[in-house]
């Protein structure tokens, strides 16, 4: 069972060879695939940021992104995940190793649901205890 970070989703859409290969492997395994609602936010924010100057193009890009997002179970940001994220964030801050808020929530979501996080971020996510990570 896998959860994907935002970078993976962006890399996959851009056709990154590593992300495409990992996606094919996981599709062949029939593994549960999820993303955090935070990933949805970050991904759609990028679409709006890049294409809001052209309403027609924006509409096309949003339709395409929605078709891509339905491939994943979208996991909500709940009280329990917020509590886990706060714990992770506080521990990292005590160690002087903070990461951004979005990554903290994505990691907490993975930890809460006991999912392996698929990412290419080998700098931030490994700081989090008990987080299963798979890189591409």
44-103 tens-digit pLDDT: 999 999 999 999 999 999 999 999 999 999 999 999 999 999 999 999 999 999 999 999
Confidence at residue 38, expressed as pLDDT on a 0 to 100 scale:
97
Query: ∠ at Cα 59 (45, 42), nearest 5°?
Result: 15
Domains of the chain, first to last: 2-135 (3.40.50.1010)
Q: Model-level pTM?
A: 0.91
Under a CB-based contact definition with an 8 Å cutoff, are residues 92 and 99 in contact? yes
Q: What share of the chain is helix, strand, coil (3-state, %, to 5)?
A: 60, 10, 25
Query: ∠ at Cα 24 (13, 32), nearest 5°?
Result: 95
Average pLDDT over residues 105-114: 98
11-36 tens-digit pLDDT: 998 999 999 999 999 999 998 999 99
């Amino acid at each position: 069972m896998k959860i994907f970070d935002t970078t993976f989703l962006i890399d996959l859409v851009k056709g990154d060879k590593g992300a495409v290969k990992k996606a094919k492997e996981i599709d062949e395994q029939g593994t549960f695939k999820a993303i955090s609602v935070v990933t949805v936010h970050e991904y759609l924010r990028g679409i709006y940021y890049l294409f809001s100057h052209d309403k027609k193009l924006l509409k096309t890009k949003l339709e395409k992104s929605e078709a891509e997002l339905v491939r994943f179970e979208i996991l909500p940001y709940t009280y329990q995940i917020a509590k886990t994220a706060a714990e992770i964030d506080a521990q990292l801050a005590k160690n002087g190793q903070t990461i951004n808020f979005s990554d903290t929530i994505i990691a907490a979501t993975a930890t809460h649901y006991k999912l392996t996080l698929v990412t290419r971020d080998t700098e931030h996510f490994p700081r989090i205890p008990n987080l299963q990570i798979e890189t591409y």
